[in-house]
Structure 1
Amino acid sequence: MAPTRSPITCHVLDAALGRPAANVAVRLEQLQEGGSAFSVLANGVTDSDGRCSNLLDSSLRLSTGVYKMIFETGPYFAASNTQTFYPFVEITFNLSDPSQHYHIPLLLSPWSYTTYRGS
């Protein structure tokens, strides 16, 4: 059975407001062979539930390696006139098993953030 969602997804929650963070621009990049530069694989925006589940085509087979998810948090906070210490958040991670789904949650506030490997 073929997967029905992007092999890499994310979810952003605004901890200060206690709700999903909608309309956060997200970019997925992959470290190129040789390790000197990243290339953009996909761009997306979180939906009303703070999720971006359609970054990549569900049939795409990724390779092992280093990837990063970049969240444009500055514009998200600016939209509500909220000052933030983090204009963007970069989460770099190792994709070691391309057969698995990788979910990157981001719990966000203007002055802090946390993340983990989700399911």
Structure 2
Amino acid sequence: MTKITTHILDTSLGQPAASVRVWLEKIDGQNVTLISETQTDADGRAAKLTPDAVDSGHYRLCADIGAYFAGTGRETLYCSAIIDVKIDGGQDHYHLPLLISPYAYSTYRGS
């Protein structure tokens, strides 16, 4: 069982991306199950992404960056950012930061 966390940073402004809707889905073949949905805080962190630890499996961490950029009055190419990962439940923690700008996004496994 493991926890999944994220931190979203707006690299075009050099600051955390606050109030971004994020959600976590579990993928099992053709079945998609919503695990949780929350919003980033003022520091760009989603504290309640996995209220309980999750099992091994295929997951998608999604962020509604289109609405975030619209809310800041900026155009963007992307409606959402999706991090599609396989999680090993034997690991204690997966931190998946998301770096966003209006025309690019990237991620990595953090600590």
TM range (shorter): over 0.9
**Which amino acid counterpart does residue 60 of structure 2 have in structure 1?**
K
The question of whether the paired residues in 2 share the 8 Å contact of 1:9 and 1:104 is answered with yes
After superposition, residues 35-114 of structure 1 pair within 5 angstroms as 35-57=29-51, 60-114=52-106
**Which amino acid counterpart does residue 54 of structure 1 have in structure 2?**
K
Tell me the TM-score normalised to structure 2 length. Answer: 0.93
**Which amino acid counterpart does residue 22 of structure 1 have in structure 2?**
A
Distance 1:53 1:61 in 2: 13
Q: What 5-or-longer segments of structure 1 have no aligned partner? A: 1-5
Structure 1 residues 46 and 23: alpha-carbon distance in aligned structure 2, compared to 1, 3 A threshold = same
Distance 2:77 2:91 in 1: 36
Q: CA RMSD in A?
A: 1.3
Aligned-pair identity (%): 40
1:19 to 2:15 alignment: yes
The question of whether the paired residues in 2 share the 8 Å contact of 1:62 and 1:98 is answered with no
DSSP 3-state at the match of 2:99: strand
Runs of 4+ in 1 over 6 A off after TM superposition: none
The corresponding residue for 1:3 is: none
User: Given the alignment, which residue of 20, 24, 29 partners 2:25?
Assistant: 29
Distance 1:62 1:80 in 2: 33
The question of whether the paired residues in 2 share the 8 Å contact of 1:105 and 1:118 is answered with yes
DSSP 3-state at the match of 1:74: helix
**Which amino acid counterpart does residue 50 of structure 2 have in structure 1?**
L
Tell me the TM-score normalised to structure 1 length. Answer: 0.87
Aligned residue pairs: how many? 110
DSSP 3-state at the match of 1:107: strand
**Which amino acid counterpart does residue 80 of structure 1 have in structure 2?**
T
Q: What 5-or-longer segments of structure 2 have no aligned partner? A: none
Structure with higher Rg: it is 1
